[in-house]
């Protein structure tokens, strides 16, 4: 059995020696990497703990839960769990850390009034993690999904702070990568108090990497417990519904990546020629690509209307393609969709979450690459609640079928909503794991 990864242990010394060598030798690379990115420059000092406000030390007698969610997806998954913890432990201080600016922005919108503070997660450098822990003084640290930072975990172990992994997942690719250094990660995993995995397959992989089988449970996927954002009568929903009242049917392609926009457009245009009332709303995943995608659509002979250029945000337009060049309106788009394609799946990006269109009962299509959401995709496919295509040709055929008989796709959307109702409960199970860690002994496992 591997010993826990503690400060001064052989694995800890070796890790920091390799880390120091990487920082020094990589100096010509990582310095420009930081300086040339406005986003990375903006939170770099915060993650070193030399700038930015960390939460004040907790008042006596008040427990502190530090939850860490690296970016947008993990933050969204943390929302139902934080709501549940607020219900179960109303006096606890709930804090959330992120790595990315977009993750922090998501938390600001989704968790207002639920959490007591937000801050950026420290870099995994010697001394930095300890400085954050000594200021925050958590009673438990909750890591969403799989963020394994050895120095941070060692600092927690030295201070007797229990660390819990919730919504834990290990893709086949990640598992193979970690398995090459099992001798090292087994010791790191032994610092954890509990691991609540998404699936039995994930749980078995954690154990195979060296986690204590006694701390690993299957808690389900928190993303099944997410609630749809409030869409209301936004200007976009008014625009889309107004078009629908005039006979338009919407294909919404959300969270698309390079290589997908052109494929989606080529699949859409034949269906549009067959059914001129069919329109495409295209929502690239990354805002910095809006201009690039507009130029691509113009080059392909389908100049789009830009959401931000429509007068008053609600006026009619004649173009067949609407480019959603805003942030935060994709849910409104899905709510008005007649059929959806979720991007990151025609190209090998691991896919994106299909739950949002499913909440609205929208028939949903994905490509073959859904590795990051394999449990969700597998459950939906098994229930007939999702259509998966092998590539652009299959996508074109699906759009053509939809143009001819959209009513034949309605059952897919209905099954998706029914399946969501059946998968509730992960936040309750994961909350119990967190609360049990807070109640238990605090010596490292």
Which three-class secondary structure string do you get for 351-387? CCCCHHHHHCCCCEEECCCCHHHHHHHHHHHHCCCCE
Q: What is the pLDDT of residue 101?
A: 84
Backbone angles phi, psi at 387, to 5 degrees: -110, 120
Residue 305: enclosing H or E segment and its boundaries? Answer: strand 305-306
Q: Is 375 a catalytic residue?
A: no
Closest CA to 376 of 410, 399, 342: 342
Q: What is the pLDDT of residue 439?
A: 77
Residue 29, token pair as written in the block: 């690379």
Contact criterion met (CB below 8 Å) for 149 and 126:
no
What is the spatial distance between Cα 82 and Cα 68, in angstroms, rounded to a whole number?
A: 11
Query: How many Å from the N-terminal Cα to the C-terminal Cα in the chain?
Result: 12
Rg (CA), the chain: 23
What is the spatial distance between Cα 144 and Cα 288, in angstroms, rounded to a whole number?
A: 27
Integer CA distances (angstroms), 392 to 189, 250, 264, 369, 428, in order: 41, 19, 7, 13, 40
Residue-range domains of the chain with CATH: 10-24+45-220+425-439 (3.40.50.11720), 235-422 (3.40.50.2000)
pTM above threshold 0.75: no
Contact criterion met (CB below 8 Å) for 112 and 135:
no
Selecting among 74, 243, 260, 356, the annotated active-site residue is 74
Q: What is the pLDDT of residue 442?
A: 39
Partners of residue 283 on adjacent β-strands:
254
Q: What is the pLDDT of residue 444?
A: 38
pLDDT tens track of the chain, all 445 residues?
456 676 767 777 787 787 777 777 776 766 676 666 666 666 777 887 765 667 777 777 789 999 999 888 899 889 999 999 999 999 999 999 998 888 888 888 888 889 999 999 998 888 899 989 998 999 999 999 988 899 999 999 999 999 999 999 998 889 999 999 998 999 999 999 999 998 899 999 999 999 999 999 999 888 888 666 565 668 898 999 999 999 999 999 999 999 999 999 999 999 999 999 999 999 999 999 999 999 999 999 999 999 999 877 777 788 999 999 998 899 999 999 999 999 999 999 999 989 989 989 999 999 999 998 887 899 899 999 999 999 999 999 999 999 999 999 999 999 999 888 877 889 999 999 999 998 764 333 3
Q: What is the pLDDT of residue 441?
A: 47
Q: What is the pLDDT of residue 10?
A: 78
Task: State how beta strands 194-197 and 163-168 pair.
Answer: parallel
Residue 150: enclosing H or E segment and its boundaries? Answer: helix 150-159
Contact criterion met (CB below 8 Å) for 49 and 422:
no
Which residues make Cβ contacts (< 8 Å) with residue 432, sequence separation at least 6? none
């Amino acid at each position: 059995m591997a010993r826990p990864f503690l400060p001064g242990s052989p694995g800890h010394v070796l890790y920091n020696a390799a880390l120091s060598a990487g920082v020094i030798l990589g100096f010509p690379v990582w310095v420009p990497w930081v300086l040339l990115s406005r986003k990375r420059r903006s939170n770099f000092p915060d993650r070193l703990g030399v700038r930015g406000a960390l939460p004040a030390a907790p008042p006596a007698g008040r427990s502190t839960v530090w939850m860490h969610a690296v970016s947008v997806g993990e933050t969204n998954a943390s929302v139902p769990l934080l709501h549940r913890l607020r219900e179960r432990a109303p006096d606890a201080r709930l804090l959330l850390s992120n790595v990315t600016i977009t993750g922090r922005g998501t938390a600001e919108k989704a968790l207002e009034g639920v959490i007591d503070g937000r801050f950026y997660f420290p870099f995994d450098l010697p001394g930095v993690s300890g400085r954050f822990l000594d200021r925050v003084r958590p009673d438990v640290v909750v890591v969403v999904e799989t963020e394994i930072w050895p120095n941070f975990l060692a600092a927690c172990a030295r201070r007797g702070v229990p660390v819990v992994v919730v919504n834990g997942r290990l893709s086949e690719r990640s598992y193979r990568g970690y398995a090459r250094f099992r001798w090292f990660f087994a010791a790191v995993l032994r610092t954890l108090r509990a691991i609540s995995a998404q699936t039995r397959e994930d749980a078995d992989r954690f154990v195979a990497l060296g986690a204590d089988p006694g701390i690993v449970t299957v808690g389900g996927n928190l993303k099944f417990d997410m609630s749809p954002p409030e869409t209301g009568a936004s200007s976009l929903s008014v625009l889309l519904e107004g078009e629908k009242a005039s006979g338009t049917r919407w294909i919404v392609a959300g969270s698309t990546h390079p290589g997908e926009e052109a494929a989606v457009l080529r699949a859409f245009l034949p269906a549009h020629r067959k059914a001129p009332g069919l329109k495409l709303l295209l929502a690239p995943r990354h805002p910095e690509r809006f201009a690039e995608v507009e130029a691509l659509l113009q080059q392909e002979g389908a100049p789009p209307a830009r959401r931000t250029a429509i007068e008053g945000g609600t006026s009619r337009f004649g173009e067949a393609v609407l480019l959603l060049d805003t942030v935060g309106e994709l849910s409104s788009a899905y709510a008005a969709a007649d059929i959806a394609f979720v991007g990151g799946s025609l190209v090998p990006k691991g896919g994106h979450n299909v739950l949002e269109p499913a909440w609205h009962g929208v028939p949903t299509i994905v490509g073959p690459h859904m590795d990051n959401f394999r449990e969700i995709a597998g459950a939906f496919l098994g229930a007939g609640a999702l259509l998966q295509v092998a590539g652009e040709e299959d996508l074109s055929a699906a759009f053509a079928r939809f143009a001819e008989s959209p009513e034949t796709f309605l059952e897919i959307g209905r099954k998706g909503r029914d399946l969501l109702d059946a998968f509730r409960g992960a936040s309750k199970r994961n909350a119990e794991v967190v609360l049990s860690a807070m109640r238990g002994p605090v010596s490292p496992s």
